[in-house]
Structure 1
Amino acid sequence: MKLQTQIKLKKQEHNLIDYNTKLLLLGSCFSENIGDKFEYYKFQSISNPFGILFHPKAIENLVIRSIQQKEYTEEDVFFHNDQWHCFDAHSKHSNVSKEKILSDLNTQIQLTNQQILESTHIIITLGTSWVYKLVESDKIVANCHKLPQKEFSKILLSTYEIKQSLQSIIEAIQSVNKNASIVFTVSPVRHIKDGFVENTLSKSHLISAIHQVTNNQVSYFSSFEIMLDELRDYRFYKSDMLHPNNTAVEYIWQKFQHVWMASESVKIMSDIDAIQKGLKHKPFNEKSEAHQKFLEQLERRKSEIQSTIKHLKF
């Protein structure tokens, strides 16, 4: 008896992810879920240097600005609710000091530039087609930073506009890094503040546009479809009924592994998982002989794997 519809996934044939891989993850909060997995398993990865970015225009701006190494100046930040903010970045970079936010933003510009140049894989998760545009300047923002709604107009990017934005992202990356594999995915998180029908429309624009730009180096990973069709049950959501819970994230991560991970890396990941769990172990008696032997074995396992993969740090 078959009790689940399953998405057919094809194993990637080239440029698989291993421990020599360098990854850059950009986009919605779901990219951070997957980014956390890469970090846990000690891959060389950077996730969302400018914080969560929900729509393609925000990601396009970040990618192009980083490649051009165009630094932020006082004109790019504003003061609101006792902090300085930047419309291009998430509020995690907001700061009470103007000098500090500019320093942080420009550090991220250089970091992102270097990672784009060096990455073997760039994974971009799109969250929504809805964008907010400043009425005063006509600028599309990445984050409204809780400014009054009247200062923005809300628009839905067309499939054509998203396609153009994605092509700009791809062309910008390939102008400095011709060998990177670019993986697009659509966040399964539902943006119901836009409305249920509006959220469906938004996701459909993203998916349609992505499929118009895929080629040998640009691919689509179906995290959205896995969540909606394979995990079709509220027990796979957090209490808000919108975000995938830990079980769902782990499930989609395993599917991603199947498509993108080199087989030799899977064994290493298993060893790292055992070490990570060992590091979190809390003994009943820290001074016991059994615990001291456990720590010695743990250090030996760490040394063995670090001798093989030099960049690993626990």
Structure 2
Amino acid sequence: MQFTTPVTVAEGSITIDYNSRIVSLGSCFAVNIGQKFDYFKLHNTTNPFGILFHPLALEKFTGFALNQKTFTEADIFFNIDRWHCFDAHSDLSAATAHELLANLNNATTSAHAEIKNATHLIITLGTAWVYRETASGNLVANCHKVPQKQFTKELLSVTAIAQSLQNIIDMVKKANPAVHIIFTVSPVRHIKDGFTQNLLSKSNLISALLTTVNRQLSTCSYFPSYEIMMDELRDYRFYAQDMLHPSQTAVDYIWQRFTDAWIGPEAQQTMKLADTIQKGLQHRSFNPESIQHRDFMAKLADKVTALQKQHPHITF
């Protein structure tokens, strides 16, 4: 018997097409989805602050972006030869304080514009486990290899997660009333917390999300990435070598389920053309000077030109 996880699109929500402006935020799986949007040349911005795993980190980042926070040296610290910010991923860390502050402030500026103009905001939650810096009492988004003894570990309650999600929704809708928010839970297993603790974490996230989303279905939707991985792809064949992250086959499968639910038929046809072009650009000829290869490249260039006339934002 094969089970198929139900995927529904909220009534009144906006189908994704090539006029959409998508912002993807959250954990590792947000990167997988963002890479798919990039590959098919849909207008997408992914994680300006880098990967953020828990809802309170995402809430804080949303506030930074929409309130256009200016970061100063009071917000950063030096550790292991680099400058870091507890509220951002190490992707933004830098060799100098000046460079890190530029990275942070550029990220908040660009995120402010992208969120205000987005048609869709996709938020992927990774874990309900959080770390609190003992000295400041603040929850952090990333520990940046600071010794573990300087933090305490906590599990966010369903109530705390639901309140954080509602805060995100309220901030985003105030800045951009037309945006539709799609929430999902990452299928990546956070086994460093332990098997039981990972399940408890995911359960809290899903419970809080469903409670929050079901109250405002015209504004928000829930896409069951985690459930598709657990119930349809419930086999270690669909995990990467670390047995924690979904394999490329699993990512492709979940992406197809997302496409079927959220991307309109016309946009799906355009995606097929973008896919053909991408594969053509990746092709390596044994004889680049041959007439056959020149003809192939000329036809490929014509396809690119035709697609760019329809959608000027697309570049290859």
Q: Give the 3-state SS of the residue equivalent to 1:213 in structure 2.
A: helix
Q: What are the residue-to-residue correspondences of 1:1-314 with 2, within 5 Å?
A: 2=1, 4-11=2-9, 13=11, 14-214=13-213, 215=216, 216-314=218-316
8 A Cα contact 2:92 2:104, kept in partner = yes
Offset of residue 209 of structure 1: 0.5
Answer yes or no: is the 8 Å Cα contact 2:68–2:112 preserved in 1. yes
Conserved 8 A contact 2:133-2:140 = yes
Contact 1:12 1:259 in 2 (8 A): no
**Residues 12 and 260 in structure 1, CA contact (< 8 A), matched pair in contact too:** no
Report the TM-score, using the length of structure 1 for normalisation. 0.98
- Tell me the secondary structure at the aligned position of residue 212 of structure 2: coil
Provide, for residues 31-56 of structure 1, a one-character-per-residue CA deviation record: whole Å limited to 9, x for no partner.
Answer: 00000000000011000111100000
Structural RMSD (CA): 0.8
Residue 22 of structure 1 aligns to which amino acid in structure 2?
R
- For 1:237, the aligned partner's letter is Y
CA contact (8 A) 2:49 2:107 kept: yes
Secondary structure in structure 2 of the residue aligned to 1:33: helix
Deviation at 1:10, TM superposition (A): 2.8
What is the CA-CA distance between 1:253 and the residue it aligns to? 0.1
Shift of the alpha carbon at 1:213? 1.2
- Asked if the contact 1:11/1:258 (under 8 Å) is kept, the reply is no
What amino acid does structure 1 have at the position aligned with 2:306? E
Displacement, 1:212? 1.2
Q: Tell me, what secondary structure is at the counterpart of 1:26?
A: strand
Q: Distance in 2 between matches of 1:309 and 1:93?
A: 31
Q: Residue 160 of structure 1 contacts residue 209 of structure 1 at CA under 8 Å; is this kept in 2?
A: yes
SS of the aligned residue for 2:74 comes to helix
Structure 2 residue matching 1:212: 3-state secondary structure: helix
Q: Deviations over 1:99-139 (max 9, x none)?
A: 00000110000010001100000000000000000001100
Separation (CA, whole Å) in 2 of partners of 1:299 and 1:6: 40
**Partner of 2:131: helix, strand, or coil?**
strand
Cα 1:153–1:11, aligned 2, differ >3 Å: closer, same or farther? closer
The structure-2 alpha-carbon separation of the partners of 1:260 and 1:294, relative to structure 1 and needing over 3 Å to count, comes to: same
For residues 13-33 of structure 1, the C-alpha deviation after alignment (integer angstroms, 9 at most, x for no partner) is 541000000000000000000
For residues 155 and 309 of structure 1, the distance between their equivalents in structure 2, rounded to whole angstroms, comes to 46
Superposition deviation, residue 157 in structure 1: 0.5
Provide Cα deviations, 1:62-102, integer angstroms capped at 9, x if missing partner: 00111000111000000000100000100111111110000
SS at match of 1:24: strand
Unpaired runs of 5+ residues, structure 2, are: none
Q: Distance in 2 between matches of 1:9 and 1:119?
A: 23
Give me the TM-score of the superposition, normalised by structure 2: 0.98
Question: Displacement of 1:11 after TM fit?
Answer: 4.7
SS in 2 for 1:54: coil
- CA separation of 1:302/1:192 partners in 2, compared to 1, >3 Å: closer, same or farther? same
SS at match of 2:142: coil
Count of residue pairs brought into register by the alignment: 312
Letter in 1 for 2:222: Y
Structure 1 residue matching 2:287: 3-state secondary structure: coil
For residues 209 and 289 of structure 1, what CA distance do their matches in structure 2 show?
60
Query: In structure 2, how many angstroms separate the alpha carbons of the residues matched to 1:176 and 1:9?
Result: 28
Q: Which consecutive unaligned segments of at least 5 residues does structure 1 have? A: none
